[in-house]
Amino acid sequence: MHPHLNIDTTFICNKLGIEDTSFNQQIKKHKTTKISIISDDFNISISVITSTGSVYDSVILNKQLDKLHDKHPTIFNNKNILLADAAYDSLILREKVKNLNMGILLTNKNIINSKKEITKFTLYEKLLLNKHVNVEHTINKYKQVKRY
């Protein structure tokens, strides 16, 4: 069984914030801050990064993988499975994960921006994608702490 890491990004309303704030497309009237979390099998946060609310999730993950590779090179052992949402399904991120010797990037759609190559999931991959909800629970714990 391969270890898996979960990645997810969410935004938090930050009305009076000064650093890492911008206006998000979804909430136009309020300043937001995005928080991106990589957690392991046991819901322990390995990497937490904040950025402005207008940055795409895939750009944040690209920076986060570089910082994680510098701080914890032992995580990158070519046996990991990085579970992510459909927002992270891009060829650039797949090449990045491959070049960093991290393993594979498994998203819930695996379309890779083309309708011709839709891959079928194995039973093991389907069960792993069901565990991706754990990072959502971790994010909800962070969201309970309000910033004003």
Q: What is the CATH number of the domain that holds 80?
A: 3.30.420
One-letter identity of residue 7: I
Task: Give the count of beta carbons closer than 10 Å to the beta carbon of residue 59.
Answer: 13
Q: Report how many domains make up the chain.
A: 1
pLDDT, averaged across the chain: 77
Q: Could you tell me if residue 136 is inside a domain?
A: yes
In this structure, what token pair is assigned to residue 61? 């993950």
Q: Report which of 98, 97, 119 is spatially closest to residue 108, judged by C-alpha positions.
A: 119
Within a domain: 65: yes
Cα 42 to Cα 144: distance, rounded to the nearest angstrom:
20
Residue written as token pair 């937490």? 48
> Tens digits of per-residue pLDDT, 31-75?
778 888 888 878 788 888 888 877 888 888 889 888 988 888 887
Residue 95 located in a structural domain: yes
- The structure's pTM equals 0.78
Query: Structural domain of residue 57, as residue ranges?
Result: 4-143
Residue 121 phi/psi, 5° resolution? -85, 145
- Summarize pLDDT for 100-120 with one digit per residue, the tens: 888 888 887 655 555 555 567
Q: What is the pLDDT of residue 20?
A: 65
* 23 within a domain of the structure (yes/no): yes
**Judging by DSSP bridges, how do beta strands 31-39 and 22-23 pair with one another?**
antiparallel
Lowest mean pLDDT among 85-89, 111-115, 144-148: 111-115
pLDDT score, position 18 = 65
Q: Is residue 60 part of a domain?
A: yes
* Cα three-residue angle 114-9-45, rounded to 5 degrees: 125
Q: Does the residue 148 lie in any domain?
A: no
Stretch 121-144: mean pLDDT, rounded? 77
Distance CA 28, CA 97 (A): 33
Q: So what's the pLDDT on residue 84?
A: 85
If we measure between CA atoms, which residue out of 4, 21, 11, 25 comes closest to residue 83? 4
Checking if the pLDDT of 95 tops 80, the result is yes
More confident residue, 64 or 29: 64
Neighbours of 7 (CB within 10 A): 26
Joined tokens for residue 57: 């999730």
